[in-house]
Chains A and B, each alone.
Chain A
Amino acid sequence: MGSESNNKDQLSQIKRAVSTTASALFGSQSMEDTILSYSSPYKKLLHQTITNSGSSSALTKLRSTKNPFKSEENKAFQDIYSASNGKSFFANQFSNTKTSFRVLSYLSDDLLYDIPTITSRGNRDKKLLTENGDSTRRSKKSHPEEPSLFQGFRSSLPIIDETIKAQGPSVQDSQEAPRLLSGSEGGSETEKDERFSLPGDFSWDELNESYSVADLSQTVQSITDNLDLLEIQKNLAASEIREIDLKLQKLKMVRDLVFQRVAKVEQNELFLEKHLALLKDRIDMIEEYGLEDTQSSDTAEKTPQVPEKQHQNNNSASSETSTESEDATDDDSGDDTSALLSQSIYQKIKKSPPNSKPRGSKNALGQKKLPPNLHLNHNRKRKTYPTLQQYYEPGTKISSFTKAHDDSITCLDFDMPFGTMCTAGKLDHSVKIWNLSKKTQIGTLPGHLASVSCMQMDESSSLITGGRDALLKLWDLDKAEEQYFEGVPEEDEELCLHTFDAHVDEITALHFEGNSLVSGSQDRTIRQWDLRTGKCLQTIDINFTNRGTSDGFSTISSNNPRSSVLLTHNDPPVIGALQCYDAAMATGTKDGIVRLWDLRMGQVVRTLEGHTDAVTGLQFDAVNLVTGSLDRSIRIWDLRTGTLADAFAYDSPVSSLQFDLDKIVVANNESMVRVYNRKEEAHWTCGEADAEASGTDVVDFVRYKNGYLVEGRTTGDVNTWAI
């Protein structure tokens, strides 16, 4: 047989081998198989199974070459797939067919007598069976709603016959065959469209002209029978749907259980991560101060290497992030040298875009930020990241913090889904820290002299806030948490690691990335700070004349006194939003112009004009820059060409936005968060649309990371959602 040689070939040729074997075998096959070979729709599957039936020897050989490890199982017990008839199903090398049949089809006594009687359907079945016992031929009225399996069988026979007839000589495409076959219900679909014919050989014209009562009543009879048949087919389909519904229900239950499991595991992970971080901190501390018990003489030499070593260890351990973040961190560590500054910034963004790979860049921040005066040693990298939010139904509220602050939320940020969140309220001068998974407050950060208007967190527990007191503060959240639980009276000197004090008017926007922090203030300056030294690197004055009068702006803004940034007057901030990446910075200002800066020169390299009112939200990644404005529109710019890629408008002014590769989330002073799916280009909303509450309970501020959305409201409530 030709297939013998093929068997030795590689896996890629096995398919061919199977078909050649099949075709070779067809010659010797029985009548049954020959007929089937003509009705080609079944194609490969059929070929395979058929060959299996007749020529066990060749096929076993083939199978054993295919997968030598599975061959034993295959020989021991066949499955329905490979057994085309009873003989091969029960045939195995250990016992004869009769014995294995008995073994396989044995029902234990427990199972045999475990027949439900209480359930409603069980009762009905019982009744039906009893009814049925009276006469084998029952009138149509007593037809059960759910036909018996046997009825299903009988009613599908005519369809099968039709199929065979139709398949006869003509060749059908394989797609159609299973559909026709799908016995009770499916077969009808195609058929129905094509023709509904009266049963038998009657035509309507003939019947109309016929005057023979006998003939007509015969037709009536056959039509009635046909109707019965159809009714059974219908019920069959219905019961199949019920079956599927049940399965779906079961699956849903299983899903819930598994979901719980994921949640539990993630809690455990968070717990371990926290302790891991604490341990690493302690190791760092010991090594930094040379307190190690043994080999204390070596520590001095070791110390400088340690961070790198740990970094490497972490990298090798965390397989999920290894390659990507390695690239990113390598890149960033190169940033320290001035050589890289000559590189195109855009090239760098491309390599490690600020948003798409937050781990790498954020971690780089933690690594490089070893300020001797700030004592911040975040030499950490998380091994795991929470992903539970992905398994929620999109738009599900995960948790809510009622009255997080007494007044409206001005800004908030969180480090990662189910991690830590910081919030600031309008009248509250201190920042509150929350645990997102336990939904409890875990700390407060007093220190600002006025309310906090902007903040940013990173993954290594540091927080920078900017307030109306013209100060920027860097906080240590871990210490704050410790103090909160120990009940130590908070001394903000300890919690606040550094205060950046140079601005002369309130801070309205800040952003930090890597070692640099940029802040925008009402004093019409942007300052760039070095996070290692805490010194101001440069001050950029923004000069623009207000296009139109500020009154013109305030027509809108005065209607929205709860704009994200706090001002004594209802005027939009001069610098509504900014973001930096390496030497590139983007700002959105009151005049509605988005400026792209080169921080090395401190000059504008490009302006993006389009917004007609103050820009309040801005974010960019490697490809796009998205801005939101009081003019109610969202504009998506293409950074490569500097042109507008997309734009759309809402009903009310945008106060805050954030986006990732998939979605843009927007707060626009409505009771729900607007979400724009960039891939599907679909708009939807998250949260209930409550028309009455508008004005008193609207979303002020949004933050969004990895499908996890946090929104702060004017009522002081904070809600988290899965998007």
Chain B
Amino acid sequence: MGKISFLPTLEDAYGSLSPDQLEILRQQVLSEGGELASIQSRFNYAWGLIKSTEQDDQRLGVKLLTDIYKESSMRRRECLYYLTIGCYKLGEFSTAKRYSDALCSHEPDNKQARTLQSMVENKIQRESFKGIAIASGCVAVAATVAGMLFRKKR
């Protein structure tokens, strides 16, 4: 394997682990005492969960990440980054935006954080475009129907 980058890219959050791997990560956390486990092993499990395809697993992963965030003030910057990715993957775009905004306000010069922020924003825009498109489509349909009805009446 090549060198490991400092922070994951969004793509790193995809490509789920095998159940075996995930279970081992979980056992690692359990053997260290659940909530008392070291931050690294809890993160390992959380990230493994986020990589999973199951939405519920991803949620648990995000939940664990927030725990880490609350507990370790030193890791907060990092955690915000991971949280953003996690929420992005989950489709919680508003939360993702919250996190990425917070991150960027602390790391204005960080390109990776910026990239992530813009990705989130783009996604939100696209989503809203989609929404607008659907809504406007509906309106158009309704208008034509109404128009036709109106014409028929006339």
Interface size on A, residues (CB 8 A): 79
Chain B binder among A151-159, A310-318, A522-530, A561-569: A151-159
Picked from A79, A81, A130, A156, the residue with its CB within 8 Å of the CB of B107 is A130
Sampled A-B contacts (25; CB under 8 Å): A45-B30, A85-B57, A86-B55, A90-B56, A90-B59, A90-B63, A101-B62, A105-B62, A112-B102, A117-B106, A119-B74, A121-B74, A125-B77, A133-B109, A149-B78, A150-B4, A150-B82, A153-B43, A164-B18, A182-B28, A183-B28, A183-B40, A225-B1, A225-B3, A243-B38
Secondary structure dominating the interface of A = helix
Closest to A35 in B: B20
Number of A-B contacts (CB under 8 A): 219
Q: Which residues does chain B contribute within 8 Å of A144, judged by CB atoms?
A: 6
Q: Does residue A228 face the partner (Cβ distance < 8 Å to B)?
A: yes
Answer whether A130 and B41 are a contact pair too, CB < 8 Å, given A85-B60, A90-B60, A107-B70: no
**Contact present for B19 and A111 (CB under 8 Å):** no
Question: Residues of A at under 8 Å CB distance from B?
Answer: 31-32, 35-36, 42, 45-46, 49, 79-81, 83-87, 89-90, 97-98, 101-102, 104-107, 111-117, 119, 121-122, 125-126, 128-130, 132-134, 136-138, 140, 144, 147-158, 160-161, 163-164, 177-178, 181-184, 225, 228-229, 232, 236, 239-240, 243
Picked from B24, B69, B95, B98, the residue with its CB within 8 Å of the CB of A160 is B24
Answer whether A113 and B74 are a contact pair too, CB < 8 Å, given A86-B49, A161-B21: no
Closest to A224 in B: B3
Picked from B27, B47, B114, the residue with its CB within 8 Å of the CB of A42 is B27
In the bound complex, CA of A143 to CA of B27 (Å): 30
**Contact present for B112 and A136 (CB under 8 Å):** yes
9 closest pairs, A vs B, by CB? A86-B56, A86-B60, A133-B111, A178-B31, A32-B19, A87-B56, A86-B57, A133-B110, A149-B43
In the bound complex, CA of A376 to CA of B43 (Å): 70
**Contact present for B24 and A181 (CB under 8 Å):** yes
In the bound complex, CA of A97 to CA of B47 (Å): 19
In the bound complex, CA of A256 to CA of B106 (Å): 36
Q: Which residues does chain A contribute within 8 Å of B69, judged by CB atoms?
A: 107, 111
Q: Which residues does chain B contribute within 8 Å of A31, judged by CB atoms?
A: 19
**Contact present for B6 and A89 (CB under 8 Å):** no
**Contact present for B5 and A137 (CB under 8 Å):** yes
**Contact present for B21 and A129 (CB under 8 Å):** no
**Contact present for B110 and A150 (CB under 8 Å):** no
**Contact present for B82 and A86 (CB under 8 Å):** no
**Contact present for B34 and A81 (CB under 8 Å):** yes
Assuming A125-B74, A129-B113, what are 10 further A-B pairs, CB within 8 angstroms? A85-B57, A87-B56, A97-B59, A105-B62, A115-B73, A125-B78, A149-B79, A153-B48, A163-B24, A240-B40
Interface size on B, residues (CB 8 A): 76
Least CB distance, A221 to chain B, in whole angstroms: 9
Q: Which residues does chain B contribute within 8 Å of A156, judged by CB atoms?
A: 40, 44
Secondary structure dominating the interface of B = helix
Q: Does residue B16 face the partner (Cβ distance < 8 Å to A)?
A: no
List B residues 3-22 near A (Cβ within 8 Å): 3-9, 12, 18-21
Q: Does residue B88 face the partner (Cβ distance < 8 Å to A)?
A: no
Answer whether A152 and B112 are a contact pair too, CB < 8 Å, given A80-B34, A101-B63, A112-B99: no
Least CB distance, B20 to chain A, in whole angstroms: 5
Least CB distance, A680 to chain B, in whole angstroms: 30
In the bound complex, CA of A225 to CA of B28 (Å): 25
Q: Does residue B75 face the partner (Cβ distance < 8 Å to A)?
A: yes
Q: Which residues does chain A contribute within 8 Å of B74, judged by CB atoms?
A: 116, 119, 121-122, 125
Least CB distance, A244 to chain B, in whole angstroms: 8
Least CB distance, B140 to chain A, in whole angstroms: 32
